[in-house]
Amino acid sequence: MALRFEVLGTFNRARAASLTLPHFRCQTPLFMPVGTKGAIKGLANDQLEEIGCQIILGNTYHLELCPGADLIDELGGLHKFMNWRRALLTDSGGFQMVSLLHLADITEEGVTFQSPVDGKSMLLTPEESIQIQNKIGADIIMALDDVVKTTITGPRVEEAMYRTLRWIDRCIAAHQRPADQNLFGIVQGGLDPVLSYAIGGLSGGEEKDSFWRVVAQCTAALPDDKPRYVMGVGYPLDIVVCSALGADMYDCVYPTRTARFGTALVPEGVLKLKHAAMASDCRPVDPTCSCMVCKRYSRAYIHTLVTKDPMGSQLLSYHNLAYMMRLSKDLHNSIIEGRFPEFVQGFLQTQFPKGDVPQWVCNAMEAAGIDISMCCSPFPFSGNS
């Protein structure tokens, strides 16, 4: 059996679960760092295990371009190729329809890409996507979907939804390893409440008030006995809100990408280590964090590195992913222990000490049945961040 999902505890819509995959037993809610080509930039696998990483996401499109699925298969699959003992998830390549649209042509047959490496044409059909992912060998593989930006409205959104439904049938038929790889489906519906069902294609520039409402609608409609994966979501605040609404899994490049720009994730939000004020600050990045970076190095030291040396981005990537793993664990434990509302309240009070919690968060928490009135000023902030 490729997947076993057991809900261990709930608070209203929020839930903590055990997700058993062929290579690892995971706890949800969980965040998955993105290792596009089978590696997290600047970090070794033992470091990822050390901070509690449960699943790494790999990108089918990029892995097929280099080194190629055939070679990965010949060498024993991606787990063996990258020496990763825990779980893997590969996306379908569909997201590249948006991110590389100037290189892609979408038809009923599939997506024709112009390779950014050598300019050659590459046809990715639902069958080809599954064949590639079968060779790569991840625990979870994604169906190819027709991705459209959430800011697009009109007939194109409906076209994408119905095409994605047709493509999932082709993906299921093409899947050759159902006993040891679990196929996740995606339904595209944009922000249209009539069309939306599964939680794919968000984090594409939509307004936050639209974002949370689609997540809420989808988690309410999706089966209780299956994991719910909000793709491309990685801001800590978004993860807390989505977890309160009943989502389980998340992925994003944000924690490592922002680290490469000298920014650390901290309970208060973000800490910009490039700022001149950090040059003589002897405190750890986050005094509440027990990760290796916060135990050993000062803000002043990392400030020196992020302005001059790649080691700075490596240390901040380590810290930021440690932060995300701790957030995931805290979400899980607070639900299990029956103190999820208190966790959310503490999280928001730390991030918004002046009570300026965005109105969309207030609206989402009301829908989730969590009282955050003690976190908000009498005049809620109407921002979209």
- The radius of gyration of the chain's CA atoms, rounded to the nearest angstrom, is 21
Ordered DSSP codes for 120-178: -EEEE-HHHHHHHHHHHT-SEEE-------TT--SHHHHHHHHHHHHHHHHHHHH---T
**Helix or strand run (H / E) with residue 219:** helix 208-221
Instruction: Name every residue whose Cβ is closer than 8 Å to that of residue 247 and which is 6 or more positions away in sequence.
Output: 29, 199, 215, 219, 228, 229, 230
What residues are labeled active site? Answer: 91, 251
Distance CA 219, CA 188 (A): 14
Sign for the pseudo-dihedral over CA of 168, 173, 174, 179: positive
> What single DSSP character describes residue 52?
T
Backbone angles phi, psi at 8, to 5 degrees: -100, -25
Of 267, 288, 286, 271, the closest CA to residue 351 belongs to: 267
Q: Which strands, in side-by-side order, build the sheet including 30-33?
A: 30-33, 249-252, 229-230
117, exposed or middle or buried, with CB in 10 Å at 0-12, 13-18, 19+?
A: exposed
Smallest CA-to-CA distance from 78 within 124, 35, 44, 26 is with 35
Nearest to 156 by CA among 129, 109, 188: 188
- Give me the count of residues in the chain: 385
Instruction: Please choose, from the candidates 80, 78, 89, 79, the residue with its C-alpha nearest in 3D space to the C-alpha of residue 30.
Output: 89
- Classify the phi-psi angles of 270: left when phi > 0, otherwise alpha if psi is within -120 to 50, otherwise beta: beta
